[in-house]
Amino acid sequence: MKPTTNRLLVKVEEKKKPEKGKELEAATSVMTGEVLKKGPEVKAIKVKDRVIFAPYGIDEVTLNDKKLLIISEELIIAVHE
């Protein structure tokens, strides 16, 4: 699968459950993931970058039994270094 224009194919990072007895972190509306592929117009983000994005305006696809997201570059909030 190859994203078009300014879109990214992202594998979502699963949130780890806290250990027993640990406090829960505050709920957040952002998600993180790893960029697997990028469209030809994506300039600021590279493959293998870890990105932070809001879970709005994204499309979910299944490829080889894995759930992946297609996200427009402008929906990326930050690149995690």
| Mean per-residue pLDDT, 57-65 | 90
CA-nearest of 7, 1, 16 to 42 is 7
**Domain regions of the chain by residue span:** 7-14+27-80
- pLDDT tens digits, one per residue of 15-37: 665 566 555 555 567 899 999 99
Q: Could you give the CA distance from residue 60 to residue 80 in angstroms, rounded to a whole number?
A: 22
- Judging by beta carbons within 10 Å of its beta carbon (0-12, 13-18, 19+), is residue 18 exposed, middle or buried? exposed
Tell me, yes or no, if the pTM score tops 0.85. Answer: no
Of 46, 44, 40, 36, nearest in space to 67 by CA:
36
Higher-confidence residue of 14 and 21: namely 14
Three-state secondary structure call for residue 47: coil
Give the model's pLDDT for residue 59. Answer: 93
Residue 81 pLDDT: 77
Structure tokens at 2: 């190859």
Question: What is the CATH number that goes with domain 7-14+27-80?
Answer: 2.30.33.40
Structure tokens belonging to residue 64: 């080889």
